[in-house]
Amino acid sequence: MFYLKKLSKSLGISLAILLIITLLITLFNYIGLIGLKIVTGFSYITPFISIFIGSLLLGKTSNNKGWLEGIKYGLICIVIFFIFNYLAFDSGFNISNIILYIITLISGILGGMMGINLKKDNN
C-alpha cells in the first residue's frame, strides 16, 4: 500500500509538470512569443522531462535498485501513453511511437538511477 502511495504521488507530480509546461507553451504560442517549431520540439521533450522528474522522486524514496524503480515507472507511463494513444487517436503501432516509448523507458530508468543516488541517507 505504501508503494502505491509513492507511485501515485510521483505520477501526480509528473502529470502536474506535464500540464503546467504544456499550458505555458500553449500560452506563449498564442501570444506569439514562440513559433510552431519550438512548440513541436517541446511537445516531444515535455513528457520525457516530467517522467524523469517523477522517476527521480520515486527513486529518492526507494531503498535500493533505482534502475528497477525507473523501469517500473517507465513501463507504467508507457502503458498510460499507449492506452491514451489507442483510445484518443487510434494510431496503432508505428515506428515513431515505438521510439517514443523506448525514450520514455530510458528517461524513467535514468531518473530512478539518479534519484537513488541523490538520497541523503545512502548506506
Over its length of 123 residues, how does the chain's per-residue pLDDT go in tens digits?
A: 788 888 889 999 999 999 999 999 999 999 988 888 989 888 889 999 999 999 999 988 888 888 888 899 999 998 988 888 888 776 667 788 888 889 999 999 999 999 988 876 555
SS3 15: helix
pLDDT value, residue 110: 94
CA 110/CA 59 separation, integer angstroms = 10
65 CB neighbour count, 10 Å cutoff: 13
Task: Give the per-residue pLDDT at 54.
Answer: 92
User: How many Cβ atoms sit within 10 Å of the Cβ of residue 15?
Assistant: 13
pTM: 0.85
Q: Which three cell numbers stand for residue 72?
A: 517500473
> Which of 105, 102, 120 minimizes the C-alpha distance to 55?
105
Give residue 92's pLDDT. 65
Cβ atoms of residues 80 and 26 within 8 Å: no
* Identity of the amino acid at 75: L
Please state the domain extents for the chain.
2-117
